Amino acid sequence: MKTKNVKNLSLLAVCTVTSLTVMAYSPDYIVKNGDTLSRIALTKLKGGPLYGKEGRLTKLLLLNPDIKNPNLIEPGTQVKLRASVADLDKNLNSAKNIMVAKTAVNSDETKITQSAPERKSFDYLFADKKDASKITVKVGAGISYNNLDLIDNKTKDVDSLASAGTLNASARVNYLLNEKVSLNASTQISRMELKASGNEKANIDSNIYLSGEMGADYLATSRLVTGLRAGATERAFVTSKTTDTFILKKTWITGIGPEIRLLLDENATTASSIHLGYRFLGSSNLEGLQIENGQEIITGFELIRDSFNFNPYLSWNSQNTNLLDQDGLTLGLNINYKF
């Protein structure tokens, strides 16, 4: 096929310009049950991030201007993966906020540029690199309710300590190793004031708790992320008890375990997911108190709106000593902002 030289044409646009290269006369894709545009873009278009100025989803939307609602596509719909020069002329004439640069082209390639709404990046879709950045930083704060059940090893009597207004501040750094693997490190500082029920008291030297964790995540599918976490956190243990007072001391407890995250829904500015994690807690010795191995289960829901992240969560941990069996329950909400 011979190529006609096309004169340069520019239409001024107010949006940020992105560029993409499309090949001529390639097959279309037929939408199946369970498909999303982002999944089609991730699996059918090669190279580059999924979202953002030069993302594969931007390319797919440019090639398919007849798709009015990107969040709703019906099975059987034909989605163009490539376009001919004639198709590009038709698409560009009907698009809004476009800057076009057409030059003399060979028989199988046309280069165009188009502005597109920028999509914010989400942690669990690592193919999405906001402005091609490999490092993201997230800071946040939260509040939680904490309850600690104390079961006497001999009498099996149960007492409880609780903190109804635990406050925390956190920071997390994420490094994108490649489109499938992400490394991360996080730290948190909390203020938790445990109080006993009834006339009993709880006595501890400090109400400030620190924790730190490192991990790696793998993008198994377009909706599933698997990961591994390892770290250490300060925990309080009852070392002795008088008639009406629990004496507690803090110590560092190590933990390691897997975590999975499942994407539930997404659109141009919002996404939601659920996550489930398990930690194996290591043993320790605290001034003669023998702390046995334990476990912790963490589950939660995550809602991301632009750069804000809302994360209600629930965690349960169990770690026994030679004095008491300690079971902890935490219900909380964290709000984070990603830079």
User: Rounded to whole angstroms, how far apart are CA atoms 91 and 181?
Assistant: 36
**What pLDDT does 53 receive?**
65
134-338: which CATH architecture? Beta Barrel (2.40)
The more confident residue out of 72 and 150 is 150
pTM of this prediction?
0.64
Q: Where are the domains of the chain?
A: 17-115, 134-338
Question: Is pLDDT above 50 for 114?
Answer: no
Residue 5 pLDDT > 80, yes or no? Answer: no
Instruction: List Cα–Cα distances, 310 to 39, 201, 338, in angstroms.
Output: 24, 34, 11
HSE of 179 in the Cβ direction (CA atoms, 13 Å)? 14
* The pLDDT of residue 133: 56
pLDDT of residue 106: 33
Residue 196 has pLDDT above 70, yes or no: yes
H or E element, residue 60: helix 56-63
Question: Residue 98's CB: how many other CB atoms inside 10 A?
Answer: 20
Given 3-state DSSP classes, what are the helix, strand and coil percentages for the chain, each rounded to the nearest 5?
Answer: 10, 55, 35
Asked if residue 245 lies in contact with residue 202, where contact means CB atoms within 8 angstroms, the answer is: yes
pLDDT in tens, 19-50: 343 333 346 888 888 788 888 888 888 777 77
Q: Which of 104-108, 250-254, 310-314 is predicted least confidently?
A: 104-108
Strand partners for 301:
274
Q: Give pLDDT, residue 287.
A: 84
Is the pLDDT reported for residue 10 higher than 90? no
Helix (H, G, I), strand (E, B) or coil at 131: helix
Q: Outline where DSSP puts E strands in 153-180.
A: 158-176
CA distance 211 to 59: 42
